[in-house]
Structure 1
């Protein structure tokens, strides 16, 4: 069976930013996303007949030439991420073929809303509430990147972050992540949470943690020090 087509491609040497963008597409939006650190790596792995919905070009060598080469060869909505050092002006990005320019700093919510307006990402009305409750997107992307969470672990943290400080039952997790009720006795979430807890403790100590509440579910807690770290590490 063929896999799901790649929805988004990110080119960026900034690993934290690239992973946060992949987190937005794969975990929050439920779309596939690939990340490359150079235009050469991109063309080594991506054929010119693919049709990703969106391509984001951040900090890579020879950005102007890269934007033009991608625009000429690959279909898709092309966004250039404007760098603080001004190596590629907004005007030049458009002249080289970019469809849009995203200025740093930005939020993941801003990017998702921009793509919703331009190419219909999360365009159905059932996703309206997702955009209304998006203040935690950047925080969860930072936590996932710093702690080295897998995509499955990041999905769980995504749900727990939406209910930070409140107990989330196994049934609620299963309904949101798997689209079905939790099977009593299934320890999948217990296993994932144990791994998440270990990674969070190793990275953040007790400042950002997940606890298991017996017979109830899980709760993600962020103390004042953890909140301060998240506030200092936005995109």
Structure 2
């Protein structure tokens, strides 16, 4: 994979972790920058405009989750890839991280080879999506624009988190078709990201709430389909 020109920002308050991650990513050809706390991570992100950010969840000044939430509210960081580093292994913590707009998480203690594999996998997925033709969807009173990353319902713009948008776009691209749970996980989160069925359920519920529409139907024991 061509890594030339790809910029990665790593934010962690442990110098040894920063050093080993930086060493491995630079060895792969990435341009790597570092930050020691949440405030510095925000400042450097705005300066560097990285393609991917690796955030430790438990950082001083601002946590990784807080940094992610702030970045996702800014249009210039809506498509930036974000990976969480976490020592928290419970499902609720992982769901919270993904729900804020992260693309993946890696548990501590870190395996540099695993982290590098996840980074490469995320970039491959982005390249595939960019190569594909993503057209604007017009369905009754709804418009879903994957270029501008917006959803309009009755001419009113609705704000969705990145994964919520990707999930809605997938289902709405084939109205009436039932998507299996594994199929949704693979296409929205990717084969290399380990998330549970509950992750889909949480995102579906939030999409319904934010759109104010019961536009996604649960097919019990099978999956989901889009219908207006």
TM-score by length of 1: 0.43
What TM-score, normalized by structure 2, do the two folds share?
0.45
Richer in helix (by share) = 1
Higher Rg: 1
Greater relative CO, 1 or 2 (CA 8 Å, sep 6+): 1
